Structure 1
């Protein structure tokens, strides 16, 4: 997590330092007009850069300063970072922006514990103790495909109505109040890595577990556009939504291959490289190629890489080849825990 904190007074800087010390497991950058802190040209510049680069932005000062600073740079609730405000005395921690998907509500509670403050959270579902589907999604490593559907789920629950649930994954634990595992309701949640042929609800909140791992291989100097276009076409053919992809993986011989690196960068996911020995140790029934073994030291690159990245999950696509490119897709084992 990349957390940026800006403070404006001596007391505020003290709060900033307390937070940074407690959050040492994260990348914390402290900004202030004082020695020992990172400089900033203006609050507006700080806000513009932080809204684009940070996961969480903390203003230690007046809420009005934060509101005016971030206003020009607020884009969307599924991309904006968490924004919080703490008064200089450390009495209140306010969740200002992106409370659910950005995690500001959860961070508000955590920072309030650190500085012994009162958390201030104004989202309706949290205020009334109602299940927040978007918060649940983020906490469990999922994406929300269409954030516009959140209002229908939350609105129904706030009115005391029932919402449905359809999951392609096993469900563990007791479902939240108001959520039922059927498709007879007007709105509900779909938990799946695939685009449904027909949405199960009139208003379907599609929650996408990030559990799909894509293994790739290609000949030297493969056109990055060709690899990306083909692999994205493969995903579409399988109806796998892009948000489900958790990583791209290959053999370490491809560590500098532009097409492979560009694919992970385009999808904004981690890139994993494995040695031939690591790939050989992956258990499973894989298509074998003597030619690939002579070149790489292992009989299969893409499928073994996808299997390893997914911790030997389920195979969604065995090794598939085209024009010197190969791809395989696996899904890591996962369950919807409530």
Structure 2
């Protein structure tokens, strides 16, 4: 769920902010009307922006674009980290995508807000303006992490100049490729979809990593997070999977409140799911079996089964790796590269 904060500066702007919040009804929206709520009138806008840049997916300023620019400018961290920032004039006639149009989703949110308000969307990114494929927009829409955002400019620049851009994928590709993307032709700039972020098939290689790997975990009670981190890093190295590919972690239900596991997941922004021994047993056969684990928790293996169940029955990428009281395994959910959706 999107976490959004909307701030307005006039009574008319507060009305527009309320309408904008209604358009984002499926999001968690906080509204800050600085003239309507007297408790906010003399609060620091800079402090508001600083906090919002850290804990929000979307910040909407209802007022002048200059106010928004000055508020967020000191806290910009880069296109891979900044949230979407959108500006709406107080009358609700224009919705402007100001920051993080592609990776942060500001362009799509701008269009959504404009449609809902009956306003005009103002989107200035060149690829959108000229109908050119935007790799970062595609990545965000298809659950991929951009491993090296600084390479986006090379790919987008080549496409805008009308040059061919290469595409290499470790996964099956469905659909007709966007214009000027080629799976075989040599190119100076290109996109590489997969786990190998060290591969350099092009002089300028943009790596997109699908977030489809589920991490299964088990540990002794009271295991510190540092040991869990080390075990996870070991299993990732063994499988040749970057940490950016992780999308969820899972274990058995008796570990649902294990502090080290919860802290590890919080640090990496991973949802943590737990399953009963009976549900883990339903994953079938062929897992690394342990009589001790069977006797202790009621199922012969936790980490491998939890990873596979979390991945919806996906493929086991890496079997149990045991290290300092921690066991970890990886499973991959089914996924394909899809265009023309």
TM-score w.r.t. structure 1 length?
0.96
Contact 1:163–1:188 (CA<8 Å) still a contact in 2? yes
Whether 2:106 is the aligned partner of 1:104: answer yes
Distance 1:284 1:332 in 2: 18
Contact 1:29–1:38 (CA<8 Å) still a contact in 2? no
Written as runs of structure 1 = structure 2, the 5 A alignment for 1:156-235 is 156-182=158-184, 184-196=186-198, 198-235=199-236
Judged with a 3 Å threshold, the aligned counterparts in structure 2 of structure 1 residues 288 and 237 are, in CA distance, closer, same or farther, namely: closer
Written as runs of structure 1 = structure 2, the 5 A alignment for 1:14-93 is 14-34=15-35, 39=40, 41-93=43-95
Aligned residue for 2:248? Answer: 247
Judged with a 3 Å threshold, the aligned counterparts in structure 2 of structure 1 residues 35 and 91 are, in CA distance, closer, same or farther, namely: closer
Judged with a 3 Å threshold, the aligned counterparts in structure 2 of structure 1 residues 46 and 112 are, in CA distance, closer, same or farther, namely: same
Deviations 1:176-202 (A, max 9, x none): 101011261111111102334x42111
Aligned pair partner of 1:113 in 112, 115, 129? 115
Contact 1:195–1:239 (CA<8 Å) still a contact in 2? no
Contact 2:152–2:206 (CA<8 Å) still a contact in 1? yes
Please list every run of 5 or more consecutive structure 1 residues that lacks an aligned counterpart in the other structure.
none
In the TM superposition, residue 285 of structure 1 has moved relative to its aligned partner by: 2.0
Aligned residue for 2:292? Answer: 291
SS at match of 2:184: coil
Judged with a 3 Å threshold, the aligned counterparts in structure 2 of structure 1 residues 38 and 244 are, in CA distance, closer, same or farther, namely: farther
Most deviating of 108-117 and 175-184 = 175-184
In the TM superposition, residue 5 of structure 1 has moved relative to its aligned partner by: 0.4
Contact 2:85–2:97 (CA<8 Å) still a contact in 1? yes
Q: Please, what is the CA RMSD of the aligned residues?
A: 1.6
Contact 1:30–1:38 (CA<8 Å) still a contact in 2? no
Dislocated runs of 4+, deviation >3 Å? 34-40
Aligned residue for 1:2? Answer: 3
SS at match of 2:15: helix
Written as runs of structure 1 = structure 2, the 5 A alignment for 1:250-289 is 250-289=251-290
Distance 1:214 1:208 in 2: 16
Distance 2:285 2:97 in 1: 47
Please list every run of 5 or more consecutive structure 2 residues that lacks an aligned counterpart in the other structure.
none
Q: How many residues align?
A: 337
Contact 1:93–1:108 (CA<8 Å) still a contact in 2? yes
Contact 2:10–2:35 (CA<8 Å) still a contact in 1? no
In the TM superposition, residue 33 of structure 1 has moved relative to its aligned partner by: 2.7
Contact 1:98–1:104 (CA<8 Å) still a contact in 2? yes
Most deviating of 264-273 and 91-100 = 264-273
Contact 1:144–1:205 (CA<8 Å) still a contact in 2? yes
Contact 2:235–2:318 (CA<8 Å) still a contact in 1? no
Aligned residue for 1:151? Answer: 153
Distance 2:191 2:39 in 1: 44
SS at match of 2:200: coil
Distance 1:52 1:219 in 2: 33
TM-score w.r.t. structure 2 length?
0.95
Contact 1:163–1:187 (CA<8 Å) still a contact in 2? yes
